[in-house]
Amino acid sequence: MLIDYHRTMLADRVRNEAFHEALKRVVVAGKSTVADIGSGTGVLGFLASRLGARAVHLFEQADVMELAVKLARLNKVRNCHFYHDHSTNVLDLEPVDVIVSETLGNFAYEENIIETLNDALRFLKPGGIVIPRRITQLVAPVVSDRFHRDLTVWDETDLGLDFTPAKEMTFHNMYVRSILPSDLLVAPDAIQSWDNVELGRKNKSVRQGEVRWGSAKQEAIYGFALWWECELVEGVHLATAPDAPRTHWEQLYLPLQHPLHVAPGDAVALRLHSDTRFDVGVNVRWQVNHKTGGETRTQAYDIRKGYLG
């Protein structure tokens, strides 16, 4: 992993301030013990130490752990214990008061935060605190065609060739994009939650949800925007919404090869399924049902079909 990835995260003031505030609210100087899961350069663990944590355990399987050790020495950060391994491989650890894990991606679960924290709960004292506390996944229809135009470039080649199979693969993917509020459907129920997890307890890594929209006017829906909101601790939130303060994360665009041309009285249902088990990695599927004129039209997508073998 390039160091620039970590530079980007450390330049994200919104992220850093939110996690710092969360730690300030739960770390009791001289008493609290903390586990930083997926610690990267160690910044969250270092903040916990500076807030007076009695002991901080940092877990990181990547080689950036060596850099974290150097940074701790350089900055005279005390009471830190470093584990150059994935937390799931560590068998013995004193029970801790606080677990913090910033293993969030543009798709919230893509860094296996659910599986990782399911396992890490064995480190937590009864009544202990997990940061983030809750993740909510949100979705809204995209009515701007600007992303769709990018994905249909296969139709614009002037070579006398048919690229239909390549075009079809293109739509079996989710795309990291900067999505604006103006790209989204304007309706009272436009933004909906399709999944919620409470990270202080064990959760299934296979997640699914369904949301529905009605239509009050003629509209074209080209795909769907995904983002997440986290409650780190009570009263401290972090979000990747199009109208939220900018972070290093962006939104995701789930495309439709065939835009939905909805009319008043139509109904649109989106079913989402994600699987982020360790042995799977990341898989996301989505199915859209458009009820119009007495019939239902279905489109189904699976990111496994978007990869070249």
What digits encode the pLDDT tens for the residues 255-293?
999 999 999 999 999 999 999 999 999 999 999 999 999
Identify which of 202, 204, 196, 194 has the alpha carbon closest to the alpha carbon of residue 225.
194
Please compute the mean of the pLDDT values over residues 146-153 and round it to a whole number: 96
**Domain spans of the chain?**
3-102, 136-229+239-306
What is the C-alpha separation between 184 and 143, in angstroms, rounded?
A: 6
Residue type, 32: S
Section 190-199 average pLDDT: 98
C-alpha pair distances (Å), 12 with each of 96, 128, 149, 177, 243: 27, 27, 31, 17, 16
Burial 5-38 (b: 16+ CB within 10 A, else e): ebeebeebebbbebbbebbeebbeeeebbbbbbb
Answer whether residue 309 shows pLDDT above 80: no
Is 70 exceeded by the pLDDT of residue 205?
yes
Q: Which helix (H) or strand (E) holds 145?
A: none
Show the CA angle centred on residue 235, arms to residues 230 and 241, nearest 5°.
Answer: 35
pLDDT in tens, 226-243: 999 999 999 999 999 999
Q: Decide: 79 and 49 in contact? Cβ < 8 Å.
A: yes
The more confidently predicted of residues 1 and 118 is 118
Q: Residue 158 pLDDT more than 90?
A: no
Assigned fold of 136-229+239-306: Hnrnp arginine n-methyltransferase1 (2.70.160)
CB 52, CB 27: distance < 8 Å: yes
pLDDT at 204 over 70: yes
Is residue 1's pLDDT more than 70?
no
Q: Which of 115, 121, 101, 123 is nearest to 238 (CA)?
A: 101
Mean pLDDT on 16-41: 98
Q: Is the dihedral of CA 233, 234, 236, 240 positive or negative?
A: positive
- Tokens read off for 16: 């850093």
Cα distances (angstroms) measured from residue 210 to each of 55, 98, 173, 227, 252: 43, 33, 19, 15, 17
Amino acid code (one letter) for 131: I
Mean pLDDT of 171-194: 97
Given this chain, do its domains 3-102 and 136-229+239-306 carry the same CATH topology? no
Cα separation, 221 vs 35, whole angstroms:
44
Average pLDDT, whole number, for the chain? 96
Report CA 55 to chain centroid distance, whole Å. Answer: 29
Q: In the structure, what pLDDT confidence band is assigned to residue 2 with cuts at 50, 70 and 90?
A: confident
What is the percentage of the chain residues whose pLDDT exceeds 70? 100
Secondary-structure class of domain 3-102 per CATH: alpha beta
